Structure 1
Amino acid sequence: MEQDIERYLNNEMTQEEVAAFLNKIDTDPEAKKLLSLYKEMNVVYDQNDWELLDKKTTNQKVQQYEQFLRSDKGKEIANSIKAAEQSYFNEKPFRLTKILKYVAVAAIFIAGLFLVVEYNQGTNTEQLYATYKNWDELPSLTLRDQNSDLTEIEQQFRTENYEESLLLLNTYVLNNDQNVNPQLLMYKGISQLELHKNTAAIDTFTELLESKTLDADKAHWYLALSYLKNQDVEKAKTELELLLEKPTNFKNKEAKELLSSLH
């Protein structure tokens, strides 16, 4: 069935074959679901460059797989599959675009397995991340300083234009020789998280942790969320446990709840 779907989506069928295929789809619910999944995959993946595209998909499973593949762990798996594919097929006269598409299917399948395992263990990291992130609680960058650059950074951040906010923030830090600003580090790290730059976010929050400022301990909470988004449950637990060493620490109540959900 998968080969027929591939031929149909690539316009490789005769009119008679198309008619027979569509009749099969109309009478087979499972085939219809599979066709829908393949169509959604074509929206999400660039079969020529094997890249995730910035397009919306309505299929919930594909959305979950896409989220996983955007994580560092997902990218590592995808790159490993791609490398294996290239090694094997370099000596074979196959059509490259077709092979890449099958690699995308394989990567999604593997991602699905990881998601099923996470779900069965009662640990849906993406859902927990979405539940516990609350950027509205971030302190304003311009509460005491009416600097127009900071105003623009915060405005872009609050409207979820994280890419522009991060660009402006990096430019501001580059042009202003000053001590470490913990609030800017929080805005920077969160922007990186929302842009799926999980490793960079972890580096930023580690810098916050090592800043020895009054806000340094908050880094444990943001690091926990970063590791959670990166599918690294054990490191997320470690950060939450460090946060709970002092009852007065930032997000103490939420840390207890989240840690309980991860056990």
Structure 2
Amino acid sequence: MDETLYNDELLIRYLDGELSAEEKTALEERLHTDKALQEQLVHLQVAVQAVKYLGTTERVQAVHAEMMKELKATNKGKVVPFSKLVRYTMAVAASILVLFVGVRLYLNAQLSPEKLYNESFVDFNVSAARGSNENFSEIEKHYQQKAYEAVIGDVRSVNMDAKDSLLVGLAYLHQNRTPQAIGIFQRLANSANNFQQDAEFYLSLSYLKNKEYSKALPLMEKIKNTPSHLYREYVTEKVIEKTKKLNDK
């Protein structure tokens, strides 16, 4: 069997809850690392929603056709009982409600801290940073080269200023060492320095990545409600709303 067809069949059984515990575990392990398989799953999920939408649309059309048939009969002197009109209206409303709930559930299922973090993350521009000059520190040079392990290693051999500390925190974040990043960003966000607002933004994203939504939200709202904040444009109402939904799950 073609691999794509085999994967489709496997994913459909996964969506239908027909896989054994062993099969489900094996598939989810593949989904964790296989981006092509992840996309295949998303396409199937969209197809399922489209089928549900089509089914709902057809139900609404059928109810509408039946109602119009009854109404046309009034031209021949037949009176449509009020109870029937109510029933038709409720049937249409119920079909639309099913569609609405289905779409909302689908959208909520697609929401994850990893996805929201990736959508919201904006990397720090070393060369455009406040107070920068051509004499970059070793930490700045390594960060520009995306040598994040080297950035972390530099901590032992240099005296760091606020900008270097911020870059070390970001290097930890890029390496998925989120608790260490949080510790550095907390210190910078709670002290007066030229990179305090940068630290607030990255601290909010670190909390999001670490699934500490109740800590991320106050920072996001502070950034959003401060017109002069450097990162205000990146913390949109949509980002805050999605974080609230994650917090409510």
Q: TM-score, structure 2 length as denominator?
A: 0.53
Q: CA deviation at 1:218?
A: 2.6
- Give deviations 1:228-261, integer Å, cap 9, x for gaps: 1112222211111122342101211222342244
2:153 equivalent to 1:167: yes
The residue identity in structure 2 corresponding to 1:144 is: N
2:121 equivalent to 1:133: yes
| Residue of structure 2 equivalent to 1:248 | 228
Bigger-Rg structure (1/2):
2
Query: 1:123 touches 1:262 (CA, 8 Å); kept in 2?
Result: no
CA 1:209–1:121 in 2, change beyond 3 Å: closer, same or farther?
A: same
**CA RMSD after TM alignment:** 4.2
Give the whole-Å Cα distance in 1 for the aligned partners of 2:134 and 2:214: 39
Q: Secondary structure at the match of 2:235?
A: helix
Query: 2:113 touches 2:208 (CA, 8 Å); kept in 1?
Result: yes
Q: CA deviation at 1:262?
A: 2.6
> Pick from 166, 172, 180: which aligns with 1:192?
172
| Alignment map for 1:40-189 (pairs within 5 Å) | 41=29, 57-58=34-35, 59-60=37-38, 120=108, 123-139=111-127, 143-144=132-133, 146=135, 150-151=137-138, 153-168=139-154, 170-173=155-158, 176=159, 181-189=161-169
Query: 1:182 touches 1:211 (CA, 8 Å); kept in 2?
Result: no
Q: TM-score, structure 1 length as denominator?
A: 0.51
| Residue of structure 1 equivalent to 2:184 | 204
Give the whole-Å Cα distance in 2 for the aligned partners of 1:118 and 1:197: 31
> Pick from 178, 192, 199: which aligns with 1:219?
199
The residue identity in structure 1 corresponding to 2:151 is: S
CA 1:27–1:139 in 2, change beyond 3 Å: closer, same or farther?
A: closer
Give the whole-Å Cα distance in 2 for the aligned partners of 1:164 and 1:206: 22
Give the whole-Å Cα distance in 2 for the aligned partners of 1:204 and 1:233: 18
Give the whole-Å Cα distance in 2 for the aligned partners of 1:247 and 1:254: 12
CA 1:255–1:132 in 2, change beyond 3 Å: closer, same or farther?
A: same
